[in-house]
Amino acid sequence: MGFRKLSIREFRIEDYNEVLSLWEEAGLPLRPGDELEDVKLKLNRDPELFLIAEEKHQIVGVVIGAWDGRRGWINHLAVKPAFQRKGVASALIDELEKRLTVKGARMVNAQVYRGNTKSLAFFKARGYEIHSDRIMIGKHLKN
């Protein structure tokens, strides 16, 4: 790991603004589901899978994991640009995979935007495969 004092902890709602800034700084496209009220819903489901990486009390990385009862999911993995390629993303994914395994997950999927070549290379190096026979589809529901 590239940092001596990197720690991984669960997201707290008071982290929201700093995490939102990190996502923007890292170039993560934000969606309606990233708003504060939607994040609060996530925390009601499986808060132990929403992880923060800190270096000297500064948030430097984040990942949102999910568990649907069969598979694990990885969303919104982001690391501050100055901290990229130093083991932060690997530390987050190692911890998330461990927590998903404890829940019973035998498979984990990561959602990566097609043009995000850095993330695709990162996940491929960790043994993840691109499923060219599948297409991710979605729909925003109106409340």
Query: Tens digits of per-residue pLDDT, 101-116?
Result: 999 999 999 988 888 8
Does an H or E element contain 72, and which?
strand 72-79
CB atoms within 10 A of CB 96: 25
Q: Which two tokens stand for residue 100?
A: 């998903």
Query: Tens digits of per-residue pLDDT, 4-45?
Result: 689 999 999 999 999 999 999 999 888 888 999 999 999 998
Topology given in CATH for the domain delimited by 6-125: Aminopeptidase (3.40.630)
Give me the residue spans of the domains in the chain: 6-125
Residue in the block written with tokens 């083991």? 87
